[in-house]
Amino acid sequence: MVMLAPSILSADFANLLKDIKEVETAGADMLHIDVMDGHFVPNISIGLPVVKSIKKVTKLPLDVHLMILNPERYIDDFISAGANYITVHAEACFHLHRLIESIRALGAKPSVALNPATSLNDIEYIIDYIDMVLIMTVNPGFGGQNFIKEMVYKINRLKKMILKRNLDVKIQVDGGINLDNVEEVVKAGADIIVAGSAIFRADSIENTVFEFKEKISRIKGA
């Protein structure tokens, strides 16, 4: 079953609890939390105190996407704060294999993100050790950007790699996904759909989650 992970980056931070409860009741499968440091990406977002507070008010798994340099310095704290999945960027790590092993040892599910320009070759030797690969379909840093269509081919190639090697690794896709292109992304092989502005900037958050779930469920094999 394909899962939906609303990205709270586009939520109303002054009414975060209300927005989280709305996606939770409407059937979201996990919460995607974007952490940005102003160095790895040109934007600064939210961090540990927010993750800690969110953990107290939701039962949804927390999927923390770290767009930060030196992620190894912070994983212990994010896992203690309640992160269930920790995604680090391959581009931000010198010792990716070691970091993945520490994330698992600390009790979270390790995941690796690839920027649009980064090759799948970068995960060839570590894919056996992770639970999820995050394919960025925009350049990370901001919500509301346009989906880069060449990434459909990348998702499809990754899916083939996973099937060929018979691995239990989920493909998460993040950036520019909306009700018009979600079908193409799922058909290419996505297992977890991240959507920020399409959900939180819609007229009705709840109806948009329903529509995403409905569209996904109609796709054969999804």
Q: Catalytic residue positions?
A: 34, 174
Question: How is residue 213 written in tokens?
Answer: 């779930």
- The residues in 174-203 that bind Zn ion, with binding defined as CB under 5 A, are 174
Q: Indicate the residue among 82 and 143 with the shorter CB distance to ligand DX5.
A: 143
Name the DSSP class of 212.
H
Q: How far is the CB of 91 from ligand DX5 (least distance, A)?
A: 13
Q: How far is the CB of 165 from ligand DX5 (least distance, A)?
A: 26
How far is C-alpha 13 from the chain's CA centre? 19
In a 10 Å sphere around its CB, with 0-12 CB exposed, 13-18 middle and 19+ buried, how is residue 149 labelled?
A: exposed
C-alpha torsion 129→130→135→140, nearest 10? -110
**In the sheet that 132-136 helps form, which strands lie side by side, from edge to edge?**
3-6, 192-195, 170-174, 132-136, 109-114, 85-89, 62-67, 31-36
Among 65, 89, 170, 213, binds Zn ion (CB under 5 A): 65
**Site size toward Zn ion, by CB under 5 A:** 3
- The answer to whether residue 154 forms part of the interface with Zn ion (CB under 5 A) is no
Name the DSSP class of 191.
S
145 binds, among Zn ion, ligand DX5, none (CB under 5 to 8 A by kind): ligand DX5
89 binds, among ligand DX5, Zn ion, none (CB under 5 to 8 A by kind): none
Segment interacting with Zn ion, rule: CB under 5 A, options 39-47, 57-65, 104-112, 162-170: 57-65
Q: How far is the CB of 179 from ligand DX5 (least distance, A)?
A: 12
Residues 6+ apart with CB under 8 A from 20: 8, 11, 31, 54, 57, 58, 60
The contact set with ligand DX5 (CB under 6 A) reads 7, 9-10, 32, 34, 65, 138, 140-141, 143-145, 174-177, 194-198
Residues that bind Zn ion (CB under 5 A): 34, 65, 174
